[in-house]
């Protein structure tokens, strides 16, 4: 599973994990800010056709986050979690719950590595079960991430 034109690489190192890797042409400080500040998240998180109608971030260990995407037909999709580790601008760890399926929660670890003004983002999502992992994969995750990261590229160009 790779998106050669998108630059996104997805691997499945175990029955429980999804690892996504993508390089960005921006310093990690900017990418970290884009991942943690609501005014930036609203501009890139999720596919283009969905509005990020709710974007709540309490960026502290034990603090909660909640996002609600709204489709053009009014249908809403909620996501939430709690921050477990915050190490700016190097690392974020948080829980990830798709609200209609809270029993399939996961833990997301994002590492931002900068080299020569470019940043490699490596996101590992660890599910409790293979069923949860596969459900995440089969729910349009790859297409959504490709579109989100293209939108993030656009945002980063305005912040640089």
What fold does the segment set 2-49+83-159 form as a domain? Answer: Alpha-D-Glucose-1,6-Bisphosphate; Chain A, domain 4 (3.30.530)
Beta strand segments in 4-134, E: 8-11, 17-24, 51-57, 64-70, 76-87, 91-98, 106-115, 118-127
Can you give the three-state secondary structure of 16-36, one letter per residue? Answer: CEEEEEEEECCCHHHHHHHHH
> Which pTM value belongs to this model?
0.93
What's the pLDDT tens digit per position in 14-42? 999 999 999 999 999 999 999 999 999 99
pLDDT of residue 160: 74
Q: Which H or E run includes 129?
A: none
pLDDT of residue 6: 82
**Domain residues of the chain, as ranges?**
2-49+83-159
Low-confidence residues of the chain, pLDDT below 50? none
């Amino acid at each position: 599973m790779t998106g050669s034109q998108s630059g996104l690489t997805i691997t499945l190192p175990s029955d429980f994990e999804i690892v996504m890797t993508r390089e960005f042409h921006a310093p990690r400080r900017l990418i970290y800010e884009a991942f943690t500040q609501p005014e930036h998240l609203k501009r890139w998180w999720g596919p283009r056709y969905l509005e990020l109608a709710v974007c709540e971030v309490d960026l502290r260990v034990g603090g909660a986050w909640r996002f609600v995407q709204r489709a053009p037909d009014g249908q809403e999709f909620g996501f939430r979690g709690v921050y477990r580790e915050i190490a700016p601008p190097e690392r974020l760890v948080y829980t990830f719950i798709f609200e209609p399926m809270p029993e399939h929660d996961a833990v997301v670890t994002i590492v931002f590595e900068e080299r020569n003004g470019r940043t490699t983002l490596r996101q590992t999502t660890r599910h409790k079960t293979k069923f949860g992992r596969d459900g995440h994969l089969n729910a349009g995750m790859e297409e959504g991430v490709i579109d989100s990261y293209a939108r993030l590229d656009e945002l980063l160009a305005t912040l640089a």
